[in-house]
């Protein structure tokens, strides 16, 4: 799955994941997931924000989604 679109709505980010060719052959569909910026930062990484998914799980500072969201936020 490749992240193709990130939409920011306040402190909520909506990420669209698109499957590659092989995944589409097996019937995997486009997925949209929501993540919330809590406004906190990590203790040892003060430049990385803490993100939470819809079920309440905190994403780590080295998580793939966290890296993509931080790159998106810094791109402006």
**Given this model, what pLDDT does residue 74 score?**
87
**Long-range contacts made by residues 58-66, C-beta under 8 angstroms, separation at least 24?**
59/35, 65/3, 65/15, 65/35
**Given this model, what pLDDT does residue 5 score?**
95
Asked whether the predicted pLDDT for residue 76 surpasses 80, the reply is: no
pLDDT in tens, 29-75: 999 999 999 989 998 888 899 999 999 999 999 999 999 999 998 88
Q: Which residue shows structure tokens 């080295």?
A: 62
Rounded Cα–Cα distance for residues 17 and 3 (Å): 4
**Given this model, what pLDDT does residue 22 score?**
95
**Given this model, what pLDDT does residue 32 score?**
96
Rounded Cα–Cα distance for residues 51 and 53 (Å): 7
């Amino acid at each position: 799955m490749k992240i193709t679109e990130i939409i920011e709505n306040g402190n909520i980010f909506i990420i669209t994941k698109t499957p590659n060719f092989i995944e589409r052959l097996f019937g995997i569909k486009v997925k949209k997931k929501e993540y919330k910026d809590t406004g906190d930062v990590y203790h040892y990484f003060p430049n990385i924000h803490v993100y939470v998914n819809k079920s309440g799980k905190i994403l780590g500072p080295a998580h793939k989604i966290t890296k993509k969201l931080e790159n998106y936020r810094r791109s402006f």
